[in-house]
Structure 1
Amino acid sequence: MSAELETSEGLDEPEKKISGVPEKENHTRMADLSELLKEGTKESHDRAENTQFVKDFLKGNIRKELFKLATTALYFTYSALEEEIDRNKDHPAFAPLYFPTELHRKKALIRDMEYLYGEHWEEQAQCSEATRKYVERIHEVGQNEPELLVAHAYTRYMGDLSGGQVLKKVAQRALKLPSTGPPCLHPRPNCHLR
């Protein structure tokens, strides 16, 4: 049953249901899931925050080549994740979390790749072995256990986008990256990217 209004016993107002689950209960379940994911990933998050790469990055010690490799890994990761999310957008476990307009990152990452590598970036960017294995896992999950995409989406969107706001400012200063909008690769006055 898609989102429809139903009157529930003991309630003064109709209650919206998503896939047969009352909105209040669905919201509670989502909050519980968010807390479980946060607690379940805490140790991994702490380890990731304490890698030498992240410590150096936060201090502004950023080598452009490593930044390019990290951006490349994100491009391949989000491409796979968003492909599987789109494939599974109607799956009951994932449908309530499907917000492509608000969350999808692939288009922005393509702009980043064009900026970092140039016009023919696809010929230059190579997927690392570690990223390839992660991409394969995302595809495996999307095709066989799509409910597990929730954990991957949580890690990427909540982790990358939340922590990414801090890292963005550091990278902009250290690498002298543009502060707003997409970088313009065509420095013509009437360029559509400005």
Structure 2
Amino acid sequence: MLRQQNRYRNILLSSILFCASTAPAWAASTGQSIPEAAHQNWWRRISLVIHGQVEGVSNLSGGISTGSTATGLWKGGLALHTGKAGWWQGGLFVVEGLAADSSNPDSLYIGDLQSVSNLTTPYQHMAHLYKAYYRQKFGDYTLRLGLLNPNDYFNDTGVAGELFNASYGIYPIISANIPFTPTYPYSSLGAIAAASWGNTTVMLV
């Protein structure tokens, strides 16, 4: 799938993470969304989480040409738990926006198909509403409706996907062959239903 280049020489020079929240740091999914679990701090029943990432990529040898570039990503999210608001239990309203100042190391320097970075975007500058949905839990069942990114829940290997190697994110079988696949930095209107039994969760989008 990838051109025969020595990708291991394409070194990520720097990664800086900062988070304006007193919640513990989290391992981001490849969908680059703020996890629901991060919304734990409340001011007048509303949680605010701000998260930023800055990444530098250098190609030292091979590829199209040698050079360095950087990408910055900002995300901000508001959430309201219906139970904490004194309404009903299990409900959560989420609104999230993102802004990215992105370069493209793949087309400028590296020339691979699946991208060395999970932060780059199709356009150099992007800012838009990323998520706006309602989640309701019914015991072992969960329903989400609204503007969603399915890659937050499907086809995601978050442990290996942070910053380096987008192949660990959504599989290219999906993203490279299905036009307008709703994955970072885009989302789409939809519904996701999930049922959990012990350590097993079944999800339907």
TM-score range relative to shorter protein = under 0.3
User: TM-score, normalised to structure 2's length?
Assistant: 0.23
Look at both structures and tell me which one has the larger radius of gyration over its CA atoms: 1
User: TM-score, normalised to structure 1's length?
Assistant: 0.24
Q: Which is strand-richer, 1 or 2?
A: 2
